[in-house]
Each structure stands twice: as C-alpha cells, then as structure tokens.
Amino acid sequence: MKDKFYQYIEDLQNTITATLEKVDGKAKFKEDIWERPEGGGGRTRVISGGNVFEKGGVNISGVHGPLPETMQKYFGVKEADFFACGLSLVLHPKNPMVPTVHANWRYFEMYDKSGNIVNSWFGGGQDLTPYYLFDEDAKHFHQICNRACDKHNLEFYPKYKKQCDTYFWNAHRNEARGIGGLFFDRCSENTEMNMQNWYNFVTEVGNSFLEAYVPIVERRKDLHYTKEQRDWQEIRRGRYVEFNLIHDKGTLFGLKTNGRIESILMSLPPHVQWHYNHTPEAGSEEERLLEILKNPKDWV
C-alpha cells in the first residue's frame, strides 16, 4: 500500500503543478529534491512571483525510521518504527479576490520490532480560505467535495465537513481559518472499509482538487482590487499563520520528526500584516466574512 500510494502522490503532484503553471501563465515551479538523515526524503515544488500565485508549494514526501519520543507519547506507544508519506499543498494568490487553498492527502504505517505493521491509516482533506467571500465559489468548492464523498459513503461529506470546521478553528481568535471543506484522519481498516476502499476514497478526493479550486481561480484572478483590499488580505493571512504555528498537527508532526523546515514552513504567505485590535467597518464585506467565520455555514 505504501508504494502504491507514494506512486499516486508522485503522479498527482505532476498533474497539479502542470495545471497550476498553465493557470498562472508566467511562473514555473522550482523543484528541490531532499533527503532526511533518519530515512526517506521528498520532492518540494515551490512557485512564487507569478501572475496569479504570489507563493505556493506542492510537496510530496516519504519518510521512515524510529518514531521520535515526542511522537511516541502523542500516539500512546512505546518504541516503534514508522513510515509516513503524503502530498501537501498551499497556494497564496496575489489577488485578494482569489482564496488561499490548502490540501493534504497522506498515509501512515507503524511497525513492531519485527517489522510487522501494527497500525496503518489514511488522512487528508482540502479547505478554502477566502478574503472576500463569493457565495457561489463556496458552494462550488463544497459541492465538489460532497460529490467525491458521495461516491463512497453518503455519510462522509457531512461527517468530514464538520470535522474540517472543528479542526481549522482558530480557538484563540474564536473563528474559523476559512470556510472549510473536508478533513479526515486515522482512517483505518474496519468492518465497513478495508484499506483498499480507503485508498479509493482518498484518491477520489485528491483527484477532485483541481476541479474544486481552478474554476474559482479563473473566475476571480483578473478582478480589480484596491490597496485597502490588499491590506485586508494580508491581515487575514496573519490569522492563517497563527493557525499553522499554534494549532496545526501536520506542522507539529514535521517539526517533531526532524522534518525539512523549508518544506514545512512553505505554507506561510510571503507578505503578512498584524494590526492592533483591527476591526472592519460595520456592514462591509470584510465584516460579513468575519461573521461567517465565527458561525460555520452549510454550503451544500
């Protein structure tokens, strides 16, 4: 399964980066192959300074070795070896009318001292972080997520949509990071789903990503915006940074397992602002966004 899924994310990375380069029309992804001293490595691809994408990364990795002590405590196990692979992407567009997007699809195995698999699971999801909210974009993104889930289980979309709203909650701000999407984790073999079925589901979601995001980019990338709207985008990016550095488990896992710091922090935007006690004008589009972020909405 690990070889099969790693081949999948290699192919998906190629498909996504090629498509995004066409959408941008200017910038190309720069590739960086790296190795992890303890075992494994990855292929980082970063785009910057484009017509559409100010900064973004589409990264894959496959790492293995002894599970660090901090992660042993997290998983509630003693000494163990692990393998983890996945594709992680974040795209920060230049135009504030285009939302930031994040997605991740991953697979994990844990072994006993004899090398036998004692646990394995899939995880992942995709979520949207707009700066100016267009309802049709939110509905489109969630409809594509819903359709991918429904092909496998009609209960998946409401369940994983709710988990996404819960996970991407900036608790110290009492607001969501964005308008959500899907989030699933620890998807392991049970009476209803074997690992092949989980593989089919996770790859279905991964294959839906471009359809969920690219039409939104195409609709919004050439819209006019003001300096004030750009400032608002950078203020909201600050909240994005706060979530990733304070709450995000993927960032924590990378840092605790001696992950490659440049690849882990590629998710951070290039230009950010923090203003003391910033409050948008009453009745503005900015205020409307905040109201929805404080009360997650059902878009489907």
Q: What is the pLDDT of residues 245-274, one digit of tens each?
A: 999 887 887 777 777 888 888 889 999 999
Taking 50 as the pLDDT cut, the residues of the chain under it are none
From the number of C-beta atoms within 10 Å of its C-beta (0-12, 13-18, 19+), residue 7 rates as exposed
- Quote the CA–CA distance of 259 and 254 in Å, as a whole number: 5
The structure's pTM equals 0.94
Say which of 102, 142, 152, 278 is annotated catalytic. Answer: 102
Active site residue 275: no
Q: Where are the chain's structural domains?
A: 2-294
What integer pLDDT is reported at residue 68 of this predicted model? 77
Q: In what order do the strands lie in the sheet with 81-93?
A: 30-35, 40-48, 53-66, 81-93, 100-111, 117-129, 180-187
For residue 16, the model assigns a pLDDT of 98
- Which of the 8 DSSP states describes residue 166? H
Architecture per CATH, 2-294: 3-Layer(aba) Sandwich (3.40)
